[in-house]
Amino acid sequence: MEENSFLNIAKKAKEVSKKTAVLSSEIKNKALLAVARALDSHKDMIFEANMKDLEEAALMVDRGELSQSLYSRLKLDENKMRDMVQGIIDISKLEEPIGKLLLKRELDKGLILKKISCPIGVLGIIFEARPDVISQISALALKSSNVVILKGGKEAVNTNKAIMSVINSALACVEGLPEGIITQVFTRDDVAEMLKCDKYIDLIIPRGGNNLVKFIKENTKIPVLGHADGICHLYVDESADFNKALNIIIDAKTQYPSACNSVETLLIHNNFLRAKELIDKLKDAGIMLIPNPESWHKEYSDKILAYKFVSSVEEAVNHINTYSSGHTDGIITESKDSAEYFLSAVDSAGVYHNVSTRFADGFRYGFGAEVGISTNKTHARGPVGLEGLTIYKYTLEGGGQIVKDYVEGRKSFTHKDLI
């Protein structure tokens, strides 16, 4: 790329965002359905590109340049493709997120304040492996009237280019849609430039490992939405149902071990009568259990599960609030009191009762898809779907009112909510 070419991309994205902000629901939904059809009809070409990446990535794993967990996330299959396509269709059916009236208040007669949802603007997305991220984020960005600049990992470059080609070809055929809503860049230099573009990029969303997220947070002035770790816990209370506990833990650990919502630490109440049997059954399921890990703050991304015994739900909560990454943590119990205490006391983006941590996902939440999981405590938390990609503005309509009249007492505020 030419010098400052990323800066030109960012400037153009900012310009396009002004047009995208006022797109009609009809045009956006038409574009989404066009993308869904195109991905479905070109899936063989995408699978072929993905196979090239998998072959090259396998060599990277052998050389120690790529982890096995990232390799697992790289693979696209019929199930993932089906979910990609269906996710876009589901997003098209969701309620329009832009222009929603969130507040309407009369400040005084003829002086009306409104709070209205609007897009964030330009999103910079940096992600590793997982090429399905492109379709998810592109669809959510389009539906929420945002512009997006994507930077994927080198291990998925062929798949990313194939998916992006299909998406942009579909979008080019939609009348009324501005060009440049979705852009892809490829080099490390582009990442460095992206992190400097606080004048043009409004939000950075990293999708990757701890090192990637930490690097981004430490090297940009742009707000960052995401999570660095996925240290998820399950606590088996003394009143837990054995079969529920067994099935939930096995699902949370083995259904997709490299996922950020896979459970990494198991806590068991000292009085849970079938604890030894539970541990034996988990081992039979292919899970390696570690009773005294060197660190409780470790994301294994494999069929490895640290565990320890605790004397109470309070001790379990204290352990979780000390070592959890604030992603998703759950309790397995038949006690209403224990469940209520756990749900209110655990300080995480997702807190569950008698279900697998693997439910922490935008698609499963009915968001259509997600741009990622946020452990932030501002703006958006948990699986981030459409709502997390919107912000709001205030509008005030009047008839010539001035502040001086209110300061000097000639007029007074009514502050009457109208919705």
pLDDT tier for residue 2 given thresholds of 50, 70 and 90: very low
User: Can you give the pLDDT at residue 1?
Assistant: 42
Q: What is the pLDDT of residues 147-190, one digit of tens each?
A: 999 999 889 999 999 999 999 999 999 999 999 999 999 988 99
pLDDT of residue 230: 87
Asked if residues 362 and 268 have their Cβ atoms less than 8 Å apart, the reply is no
Q: CATH second-level architecture of 232-359? A: 3-Layer(aba) Sandwich (3.40)
State the pTM of this model. Answer: 0.85
C-alpha–C-alpha distance, residues 313 and 107, integer Å: 48
Distance CA 346, CA 146 (A): 33
pLDDT higher than 90, residue 213:
no
What does the pLDDT look like over 343-394, one tens digit per residue?
A: 999 999 999 999 999 999 988 998 877 888 888 887 888 988 899 999 999 9
Residue boundaries of the structural domains of the chain: 5-225+371-393, 232-359
pLDDT at 227 over 60: yes
- Spell out the CATH class of 5-225+371-393: alpha beta
Cβ-Cβ contacts under 8 Å for 295 (sequence gap 6 or more): none
- The pLDDT value given to residue 72: 81
pLDDT value of residue 253: 98
Indicate the range of 65-79, 304-318, 321-335 predicted with least confidence. Answer: 65-79
Mean pLDDT, the chain, whole residue set: 93
CA 369 to centroid of chain Cα atoms? 8
**For a pLDDT cut of 70, what percent of the chain falls above it?**
99
Which pLDDT score, from 0 to 100, does residue 366 have? 84
| Same topology between domain 5-225+371-393 and domain 232-359 | no
In the predicted structure, residue 137 carries a pLDDT above the cut 80: yes
Mean pLDDT for 59-81 is 87
Q: What are the φ and ψ backbone dihedral angles of 66, each rounded to 5 degrees?
A: -145, 135
Structure tokens at 386: 């459409």
pLDDT band at 4 (very low <50, low <70, confident <90, very high): low
Tens digit of each residue's pLDDT (9 = 90 or more) over 321-350: 999 999 999 999 999 999 999 999 999 999
